[in-house]
Amino acid sequence: MFERLSDRAASIVFIVLALTISLGTANIADGLVLALSPLLVVLAMLLVVTREGYSGGGWRRLGMGRLGSPG
């Protein structure tokens, strides 16, 4: 959809999408979708809205380019 969003605009879109999905799915599967809604929104933002998830840089911005071990 968008080539590049500023960090502020991306955070506002994330908050709006997360609240919308959370409110819309609160009663589905006893709240299971509600618990997973932030993950679903992150995937939607990376792969559909900003399309940054198709390059390694988009995932590295989230810290997904390395293991989480202390070191």
What digits encode the pLDDT tens for the residues 40-58?
888 888 888 888 778 777 7
Say if pTM beats, i.e. exceeds, 0.75. no
Q: Is the dihedral of CA 12, 14, 20, 26 positive or negative?
A: negative
- The residue type of 47 is L
55: enclosing H helix or E strand: none
- The residue type of 58 is G
Decide which of 68 and 61 is more confident.
61
Q: How far apart are CA 50 and CA 44, in angstroms?
A: 9
Question: Helix, strand, coil shares of the chain as percentages rounded to 5?
Answer: 70, 0, 30
